[in-house]
Amino acid sequence: MGAQYDETTVSNDITREQLPVAFEVIVEERAYECGHGGYTGTFAECEGLLIHDKTFPSTKDARAYIDGEWDETAQEFTEAACQKWGPAIAVKVDSADFTGWYIGACCSS
């Protein structure tokens, strides 16, 4: 089986302490929409949520940190912070377009 990247943003109105509860609601919505079969490619396959103490200038940079990215200089992919069957990862984004939480995960599909 493969893996699929799932992502979402959460308003800055949600505090760090409230984020795990907000994430559980997102997981329930994904499970309802996509099923409970174990290979939905959504947050429903994650083992919880880890909050990293990092802030990024854009959601693109946040995704590159969580999912890994191509390093042109080294000609290789950087190591992803997330792992299939592992937890989703949340980081802060502070940009002109969006300020809040960015959550991403590599989900079994």
3 state SS of 50: strand
- The DSSP call for residue 81 is S
pTM for this model (two decimals): 0.85
pLDDT digit string (tens) for 29-65?
988 887 766 788 889 888 899 999 999 999 998 998 8
Split into its structural domains, the chain has a count of 1
Query: Domain containing 48: what range?
Result: 3-108
Evaluate whether 100 touches 93 at the Cβ level (below 8 Å).
yes
Per-residue CA distances from 93 to 18, 45, 52 (Å): 17, 24, 12
Tell me what the mean pLDDT of segment 82-86 comes to: 76
Output the pLDDT for position 10.
97
- Rounded to whole angstroms, the Cα distance separating 20 from 90 reads 10
